[in-house]
Amino acid sequence: MDDKPAPPSNALMSALTTEHFVLQTANSATYTEASARSSLYVMALSSTLVALGFVSGSSEVLMPFAAMVLPAVFVLGLFTVARLVETALESMHCLRSIARIRAFYRTLGPQAAREFAPARGRWPEARDPAQRLGVTLAFFGTTASMIAVVNNVVAGAAAALLTRTLRPATPGWVCATVGIGVAVVLTWAFYAYQRWRFADHEATEVADAH
């Protein structure tokens, strides 16, 4: 008796290839959204810095203006960073689904096993090149991390200005130290948040798979 499994039906193959195409499109959309949101934040920050340059000649105008626009830019940055983390997770979900479809393709025969070998795929089938220097550096290399660091510097600059405004006699190095401290603490908080979101996403996907 021939125990060779029956080949998949045309309907199944059509559904798999369509799903594969949809997942590729959805994955590309996450990159497009991340790029658009990052550009929007950078444009808003650039416009703010230009405006600050125009009003910097008058301390009576500069401080109230900075007190209004810098918090707004920082909040926009928080929203941007939070969404960038989510788009990265959505991309990971799409890539995992594509990997499952590629695993099925490998069962179609010896030639398919060679063409769709894991080494010829991307993460999670093959090792992500971004992790060659370690997971820690990989997390700092994300688009979300890039925007978060810039946004945290904005918060640090605002804290330094606030310190100088509340205590005009404060030495410049003290104001700078306050600003750097705020930026470092916020960067650490973002890094912890990003690691937590990725770990939570991983746990959810594992639970759903079982």
Task: Select the more confidently predicted residue: 78 or 11.
Answer: 78
Q: Where are the domains of the chain?
A: 10-209
pTM: 0.86
Are 142 and 31 in contact by the 8 Å Cβ rule? The answer is no
- With H, G, I as helix, E, B as strand and everything else as coil, classify residue 168: coil
What is the Cα gyration radius of the chain?
24
Are 34 and 87 in contact by the 8 Å Cβ rule? The answer is yes
Average pLDDT, integer, range 11-28: 92
Measured distance CA(83)–CA(92) in Å, rounded: 14
Between CA 77 and CA 47, with CA 167 as vertex, the angle to 5 degrees is: 30
Query: Per residue in 194-206, pLDDT tens?
Result: 999 988 888 887 7
Query: Per residue in 155-183, pLDDT tens?
Result: 999 999 889 888 888 888 899 999 999 99
Burial class of residue 90 (count of CB atoms within 10 Å of its CB; 0-12, 13-18, 19+) = middle
Task: Select the more confidently predicted residue: 87 or 66.
Answer: 87
**Which residue matches tokens 């989510």?**
86
Are 179 and 159 in contact by the 8 Å Cβ rule? The answer is yes
